[in-house]
Chains A and B, each alone.
Chain A
Amino acid sequence: MRDKTLDIAKIVEDVGFNIVKQAVIYLPEDVKQALKKAYAEETSDAGKTQLKAILDNIELAEKSKAPICQDTGTIIFYVKAGSKVKDLDKVEQALVNATRRATKEIPLRPNAVDPFTQKNSGDNTGRYIPFLHWEIVAGEELELTVMTKGGGSENVCVTGMLVPGEGIKGLKKFVIDAVIRAGSNPCPPTILGVAMGGGSDVSMKLAKKTLLKPLDEPNPNPEIAKLEKEIFEAANMTGIGPMGLGGKTTVLGVHIDFAYRHPASFPAAVAFNCWAARRASARINADGTVEYLTHKVKV
């Protein structure tokens, strides 16, 4: 994007709007496939009825081009910026504009409330909202990802400072206890993002970011992939089931990430995402052309 004639603010605003729209209406293919598989394999009647309603609803949302869930979430952008991209200082305002436009035109539910006055801003923007996570990489492309994060699943996210001497065993217990405590509230079947190390803030940041990974992509490290599978199977033994009405589908997938830790600390975090795991990404190339990475559908 060294081309001086490109209006980066305008491109980012349009792309930001489009990925929000893709995310809230169309679930990513990997999530849809996981839900279909769960429906085929669920043995509890109550659980099956819930999964059927979920699948019907996904189809209806696509047909009517309306948001899958009325809780269109808190809007979080992950920006991966090539260091040679110009006008990076305009990206934040452009994404705020995109959020305002999306709220009005799609429409989204206004979900930004001042915690002091309890007043809703009405347009999904406010202090630090939408939140932007920045990553600077080499190159001249700008990759934008949006997560529209539901409140029900956010309310059960947990961070804990575990006992270092208990190691991974302590982590397993922490995650299973979190799933059981969350019960029916995060709209199961959920997706779990788990992370450890770094510090209390870093572990949650990593846990939430892993929720952006497709369900059919286990961790490339075989040891971690094994732990993901172990926690996945254990969580599905709880019997919480779809919507907490009982059954064998409680989670659709588990992603794990980590950072190195302080010798005296073992921070850990579990981020929950509801079955309506909404995310979308796009890349803006140096010449201003745009590639939509997660969704083929035009909006």
Chain B
Amino acid sequence: MAVYKLKTPISEDEIRKLKVNDVLYMTGTIVTARDQAHKRALEYFKEGKQLPINLEGLAVFHCGPVVSKEGEKWVAVAAGPTTSTRMDIFEDEFIKNFKVRVVIGKGGMGKKTTDAMAKYGAVYGAFTGGAAILAAKAIKNVKSVEWLDLGTPEALWIFEVEEFGPLAVAIDSHGNNIFMDVQKKVEENKQKIYQKLGLSP
């Protein structure tokens, strides 16, 4: 287990050094995107339209924050991760097209995303679900917001962060996926549990 502190934009070489169980702290720019924003971003790409921000080397954060507007300035009040599996249907294309190097969320992602991370060079950083104030503390500035028409949880929030983390590297760019490993163990344990409860498999 190693601790990495990386600054955006992150290169493919840099991200390939990370292995599962490493811990990552990020400084620089991270951009939130949930279901609707992923969907729209991929539609833009298909139509040849430019995104409001170039995502290359940055992190995409599965998060719908609580925000408040103080005068003209947005402030991130609470900003923990949302369940990442919902974005599994978009993420491989998202990584391929926009070259994001880090995907931040909770709960892990599946095989398709893991394969895309191995192919194009990206990692999944698990942030503790619900730890919204811990996350908000590392957000030093809300740089801007795009696609607010999708509603505040679904908009693209562009955050400037300092030592955002700890992110547990749970999927690396070499095909390893901690969540899938745990799932395998859970399946093995299931038989023991059935036995203990007197159930037939």
Q: Give the interface of A toward B (CB within 8 A).
A: 46, 49-50, 53-54, 56-57, 60-61, 64, 66-72, 107-111, 113, 118-120, 122, 150-152, 155, 169, 172-173, 176, 180, 183-185, 187, 230, 234, 237-241, 243-246, 274-276
Cβ–Cβ < 8 Å partners of A72 in chain B? 66, 78
CB pair A66 B166 closer than 8 Å: no
CA–CA, A232 and B186, complex, Å: 16
Please tell me if the beta carbons of A53 and B134 are within 8 angstroms of each other in the complex.
yes
List residues of chain A with CB within 8 A of the CB of B83. 151-152, 155, 185
Q: A107-B66, A169-B197 are known contacts. Are A246 and B78 too (CB-CB below 8 A)?
A: no
B182 adjacent to A71 (CB under 8 Å): no
Contact assessment for A176 and B193 in the assembled complex, using a CB-CB cutoff below 8 Å: yes
Which residue from chain A places its CB closest to the CB of B106 in the assembled complex? A243
Per the bound structure, the CA–CA distance linking A172 and B79 in Å amounts to: 36
**Beta-carbon contact of B66 and A68 below 8 Å:** no
Complex: chain A residue closest to B187, CB-CB: A180
Does B80 touch A at the CB level, under 8 Å?
yes
The answer to whether A120 and B153 touch across the interface, beta carbons within 8 angstroms, is yes
- Residue in A54, A60, A122, A239 whose CB lies within 8 Å of B189: A239
Number of A-B residue pairs with CB-CB distance less than 8 Å in the complex they form: 175
Q: Give the distance in Å from the alpha carbon of A155 to the alpha carbon of B84 in the complex.
A: 13
Residues of A within 8 A of B183 (CB): 183
B118 on interface, CB distance cutoff 8 Å: no
Closest to A182 in B: B107
> How far is B107's CA from A276's CA once the two chains are assembled, in angstroms?
15
Expressed in whole angstroms, the minimum distance between the Cβ of B21 and any Cβ of chain A is 8
Report A-chain residues with C-beta under 8 Å of the C-beta of B152.
109-110, 120, 122
Top-3 shortest CB links A-B: A120-B151, A187-B129, A53-B128
Q: Is the CB of B186 within 8 A of A183?
A: yes
Give Cα A239–Cα B181 distance, bound, in whole angstroms: 11
Residue of B nearest to A233 (CB): B196
Query: Which B residues are CB-close (under 8 A) to A70?
Result: 63-66, 77-80, 132, 135-136
The interface on chain B, measured as residues whose beta carbon lies within 8 A of the other chain's beta carbons, has a size of 53
By a CB distance below 8 angstroms, the chain B residues around A152 are 82-83, 106-107, 129
Interface residues of B (CB under 8 A from A): 21, 36, 63-68, 77-80, 82-83, 85, 106-108, 126, 128-137, 151-154, 166, 168, 170, 178-179, 181-183, 185-187, 189-190, 192-194, 196-199
Shortest beta-carbon distance from B136 to chain A in Å? 7
Contact B179–A237 (Cβ < 8 Å): no
**Which B-chain residue is minimally distant from A118 (CB atoms)?**
B36
Min CB distance, B52 to chain A, in Å? 20
- Measured between beta carbons, the chain A residues less than 8 angstroms from B82 are 71, 151-152
- With A183-B107, A238-B189, A244-B182 already in contact, the answer to whether A230 and B197 are too (CB < 8 A) is yes
User: Can you name the residue of chain B whose Cβ is closest to the Cβ of A120?
Assistant: B151
Given contacts A107-B77, A237-B196, contact A68 B132 (CB under 8 A): yes
Contact A187 B36 (CB under 8 A): no
Please tell me if the beta carbons of A69 and B182 are within 8 angstroms of each other in the complex: no
Contact partners of B190 in chain A: CB under 8 A: 176, 180, 238
Partner of A234, one of B77, B78, B178, B193: B193
Task: Say whether, besides A54-B130, A57-B130, A109-B153, A245 and B196 are in contact (CB < 8 Å).
Answer: no
Complex formed: what's the CA distance from A151 to B66 in Å? 14
Tell me if B136 and A274 are in contact (CB < 8 A): no
What are 28 residue pairs bridging A and B, where the CB atoms are less than 8 Å apart in the complex?
Answer: A49-B168, A54-B131, A61-B132, A66-B78, A66-B132, A67-B66, A67-B78, A67-B132, A70-B63, A70-B64, A70-B66, A70-B77, A70-B135, A70-B136, A71-B132, A109-B66, A110-B153, A111-B153, A119-B151, A151-B82, A169-B197, A176-B190, A176-B194, A184-B108, A187-B106, A234-B193, A234-B197, A245-B170
